[in-house]
Amino acid sequence: MIRSLRRRFILIAMLSLLGTLAVLCTAIGLGAHYTATSRADRAITLLYENDGAFPAPAESHDPAAAFGFHITQETPFETRYFIVELTADQEVRGVDIDHIAAVDRQAVVESINEILSSDRPRGYANYYRYGIFHHEDGGSTIVVLDCFLQLQFAYNALRITVIVAISCAVIVFLLLMLLSKRAVRPFVENLERQKRFVTDASHELKTPLAILAADVELLRQPNTEQKWIDSAQAQITRMDKLIKNLVELARTEETIEDSAVTSFSLSEVAQASAEGFQPLAEAEGKRLEAHIPPAVELRGVQENMFRLFSILLDNAVKYCDPGGTIRLSLGQRGRNIYLSVSNPCAGADTAQLPRWFDRFYRADSSRARATGGYGIGLSTARAIVSRHRGRITNRCENGQVTFSVVIPQFPKVRKSAVHR
């Protein structure tokens, strides 16, 4: 699978790059040719309008000026051209070849015949650019400009661009060959986690279903004991929790409506969440301390915030050491809201702390199964925080695990989930 993904990744990347480079080369080539042609046409027009000579140059010149034909004192000596006057019968009336050394009168006549046969007012004859200007008496003037150097520059620019583009394509291809495996690795790992999760979820569903089937058979018998009814109820609760987790995971991918984003009291949300988990913590012999200042306001999705507190507190109650104290704190500094949930957890795997937020990841599968965990909660928490333009981190110091959340008070809430 990795090899197939790498091939597809390299193929798509290279096709995209080659397409971009092809467009770039075409644009540079056409742009250089257009620039050379437009400059030549402007020079031809100036020569015709000024009786075969260039007008006086401007006092100052900027080589970085915009595209166009700019006249300097050297322009008359750098430009090679000849001018031919024709009668109404297309006979040569006069020839000016004083500004070009590469042609004689015979070559001029041959060039003029080629130009007239093209029947176009402007164009190229070999590397000469020409312009035909008609007079009222039926005669015409043909100005022919030597564009060899300009066209050579345009073609050389295109050649250099193509060489650079090919070199870049080769370098990128080699880099892709070296780095593509690393690039597709997160996707492959995520796919493997999903496969593992599906296997675990299937197992988690099959087990209670098998127990339920046995309990139902026992319930059909007379004088059924209460313990079989309790067993069936426990398995139903277990499956219900798993299904709710799966639904919650799917909901993090949904797009939210603008109407769902409101301003509300985060203090009230935190207080209600703490009060909801207080009995659960006490039932397991643990303490829950909440430090929640009043009037902490947040603009966001209130339902998401309830879910965030529930995930963090549920995680803390599950993995807190027996007799330990869970601490929930909420605060605000400037325009940022700070939330933290901590609990003692002596068996925490500190080497895998960053992976705790990975979807379907469970640090200890046996312990997670015993506590009812499926590797979904913290991934959902990260998606909620990211949707509110915040960040969530975890750390473990001296056996104390702490989850910290920072959220802007008035974030521009993302409408869709962010995948990582």
- How many angstroms separate the first and last alpha carbons of the chain? 21
Residues 6+ apart with CB under 8 A from 287: 281, 324, 325, 326
Write down the mean pLDDT value for the chain.
83
Residue 400 pLDDT greater than 60, yes or no: yes
Q: Residue 64 has what pLDDT?
A: 53
Q: What average pLDDT does this structure show over 340-356? A: 84
Q: What is the pLDDT of residues 46-66, one digit of tens each?
A: 999 998 888 887 666 566 555
Top-confidence range, 108-112, 323-327, 351-355, 398-402: 323-327
Higher pLDDT, 205 or 304: 304
Top-confidence range, 19-33, 48-62, 222-236: 19-33
Tokens of 202: 């299937």
Give this prediction's pTM.
Answer: 0.51
Q: What average pLDDT does this structure show over 22-27? A: 92
Label residue 4 by pLDDT band (50, 70, 90): confident
Q: Residue 78 has what pLDDT?
A: 87
Q: What is the pLDDT of residues 255-309, one digit of tens each?
A: 567 778 899 999 999 999 999 999 999 999 999 999 999 989 999 989 889 999 9
Decide: 93 and 85 in contact? Cβ < 8 Å.
yes
Architecture per CATH, 256-408 = 2-Layer Sandwich (3.30)
Q: Residue 376 has what pLDDT?
A: 74
Residue 415 pLDDT greater than 80, yes or no: no
169 forms beta bridges with none
Q: Residue 231 has what pLDDT?
A: 66
Q: Residue 118 has what pLDDT?
A: 86
Label residue 25 by pLDDT band (50, 70, 90): very high
Q: Residue 367 has what pLDDT?
A: 47
Domain boundaries, the chain: 2-155, 256-408
Lowest mean pLDDT among 23-32, 132-141, 370-379: 370-379
Q: What average pLDDT does this structure show over 376-405? A: 89
Q: Residue 358 has what pLDDT?
A: 76
Residue 28 pLDDT greater than 60, yes or no: yes
Burial 95-127 (b: 16+ CB within 10 A, else e): bbbebbeebeeeebeebbeebeeeeeeeeebee
Tokens of 164: 């650079």
Q: What is the pLDDT of residues 166-189, one digit of tens each?
A: 999 999 999 988 888 777 777 777
Q: Residue 399 has what pLDDT?
A: 87
Task: Please state, in angstroms and as integers, the Cα–Cα distance from residue 369 to each residue in 130, 214, 238, 261, 366, following that order.
Answer: 85, 22, 11, 35, 5
In this structure, the chain runs to a length of 420
Amino acid at position 376, single letter: I
Q: Residue 3 has what pLDDT?
A: 74
